[in-house]
């Protein structure tokens, strides 16, 4: 939540975060006891036992603290209000306040409400953010949150975790961030779970899509299991994202010992942002009467002990085909599933409407609506190995029903969406052309480079035909 959240399509963005410095870290020991929570967390554990709500037990875990929001007001032994001025981060529009108009308890649920008003003749937005910092911090555990999100363009609810001492490993993203749930108000059928780390900024993201219902229709349970060498994301008990490879470093220095930065106390926080670099701003369709992020409960469990003697897994790099091509099914000889994460994948975002089909040894991309972003209509192939210092050649054939622009690039989904091959506009015409580009990989080795074709927001919905796609190493 602290930064610009991205799908494959978005270039890296400057972040506004305050923290500095990096501390020394003691070596981990084998089979260590679970790190202790703060004294406040111990107090809330006792409070949990007397709560009227019966909190379910989870095999292998102890409940260390929870909030069922059964009191008349926010329990400030567990939570802080965190006020901030508009534009504090991500170019968001809201002012985070301490007002009970923005954060309150209703019918056993925490409500974070965004309010639209007017100030100095312009639209003005207030909302709420609550954090457990210095009150319910913990290291390793299982976080379970039941929540219902608001629907509406520009609304951005989030449940996420940041370190108690953000300066311990250094300024974001070196400090690490665990996003348990984010949903964009203009697409309430998709939830995101993301890990941020690095420097340079790295991220790994998973999504869970609902069919026939949305996260705004009813409450859903969002959960993270955070262990020394692995973090797992669940929605309603469904595992949808697992990450075990991350790092942190100060520019020009060696990486800190794994599993840094996720080996220190973190806290849970929840907020409802308005506008910003990812969701875009509200428009005339946004109904602020219903701009409420509701949380039914927050429960944090912990195992009696964790083995902290973990090793970072070695990276696996995909091998090229026999002819040296790193693009699988680049000749489109297989009519594969374009919705999975294997080889080619077709994606639509932000108002893009279209379809893709493999036939006659080409992929045919039709568009009904171009959407509001370049990536609104998008074809990608992930898992392209990119090696620092290596030169590559990208070639493909393309034509269209009528002259139009498209954009191609090789992006870095797990390295802050930087470009290994920069966004390049090209004009396709009714006559088939062969396009050839050479580029040198200048960044850190990455097994997860991604070839993209972006067809949205180019002033045309003309059908595009792509074939004979290759990425190969050159001397």
- Catalytic positions are 177, 182
Beta bridge partners of 94: 125
Q: Name the DSSP letter for residue 249.
A: B
Could you tell me the CA-to-CA distances from 173 to 160, 176, 450 in Å, in that order? 14, 5, 22
14's CB contacts (< 8 A; 6+ apart) are none
Cβ–Cβ < 8 Å for 113, 102: yes
Q: Name the DSSP letter for residue 237.
A: T
Could you tell me the CA-to-CA distances from 51 to 48, 55, 195 in Å, in that order? 5, 9, 32
- Whole-number Å distance between alpha carbons of 365 and 354: 7
Phi, psi of 464 (to 5 degrees): -115, 140
Return the SS3 of 247: coil
Cβ–Cβ < 8 Å for 65, 45: yes
- 94-96 and 122-127: which strand pairing? parallel
């Amino acid at each position: 939540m602290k930064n610009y959240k991205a799908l494959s399509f978005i270039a890296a963005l400057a972040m506004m975060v305050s923290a500095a410095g990096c501390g020394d870290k003691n070596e981990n020991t084998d089979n260590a006891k679970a790190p202790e929570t703060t004294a406040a967390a111990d107090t809330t554990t006792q409070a949990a036992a007397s709560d009227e709500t019966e909190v379910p037990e989870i095999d292998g875990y102890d409940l260390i603290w929870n909030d069922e929001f059964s009191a008349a007001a926010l329990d400030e032994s567990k939570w802080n209000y965190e006020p901030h001025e508009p534009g504090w981060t991500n170019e968001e529009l809201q002012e985070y306040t301490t007002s009970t108009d923005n954060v309150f308890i209703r019918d056993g649920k925490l409500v974070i409400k965004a309010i639209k008003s007017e100030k100095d003749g312009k639209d003005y937005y207030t909302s709420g953010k609550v954090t457990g910092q210095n009150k319910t911090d913990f290291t390793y555990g299982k976080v379970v949150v039941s929540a219902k999100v608001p629907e509406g363009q520009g609304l951005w609810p989030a449940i996420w975790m940041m370190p108690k001492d953000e300066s311990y490993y250094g300024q974001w993203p070196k400090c690490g961030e665990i996003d348990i749930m984010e949903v964009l108000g203009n697409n309430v059928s998709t939830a995101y779970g993301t890990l941020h780390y690095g420097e340079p900024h790295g991220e790994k993201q998973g999504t869970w899509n609902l069919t026939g219902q949305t996260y705004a229709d009813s409450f859903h349970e969002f959960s993270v299991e955070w262990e020394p060498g692995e973090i797992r994301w669940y929605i309603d008990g469904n595992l949808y994202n697992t990450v075990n490879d991350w790092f942190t470093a100060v520019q020009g220095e060696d990486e800190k010992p794994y599993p840094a930065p996720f080996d220190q106390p973190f806290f849970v926080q929840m907020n409802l942002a308005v506008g910003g670099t990812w969701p875009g701003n509200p428009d005339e369709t946004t109904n602020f009467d219903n701009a409420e992020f509701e949380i039914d409960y927050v429960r944090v469990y912990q195992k009696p002990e964790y083995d902290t003697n973990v090793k970072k897994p070695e990276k696996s790099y995909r091998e090229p085909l026999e002819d040296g091509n790193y693009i699988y099914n680049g000749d489109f000889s297989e009519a594969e599933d374009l919705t999975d994460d294997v080889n080619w994948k077709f994606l639509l975002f932000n108002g893009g409407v279209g379809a893709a089909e493999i036939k006659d040894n080409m992929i045919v991309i039709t568009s009904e609506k171009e959407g509001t972003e370049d990536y609104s209509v998008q074809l990608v192939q992930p898992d392209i190995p990119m090696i620092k210092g290596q030169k590559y050649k990208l070639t493909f054939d393309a034509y269209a029903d009528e002259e139009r622009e498209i954009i191609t690039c090789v992006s870095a989904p797990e390295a802050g969406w930087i470009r290994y091959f920069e966004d390049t506009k090209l004009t396709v015409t009714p006559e088939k052309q062969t396009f050839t580009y050479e580029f040198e990989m200048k960044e850190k080795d990455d097994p997860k480079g991604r070839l993209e074709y972006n067809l949205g927001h180019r002033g045309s919905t003309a059908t595009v035909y792509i074939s004979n796609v290759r990425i190969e190493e050159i001397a």
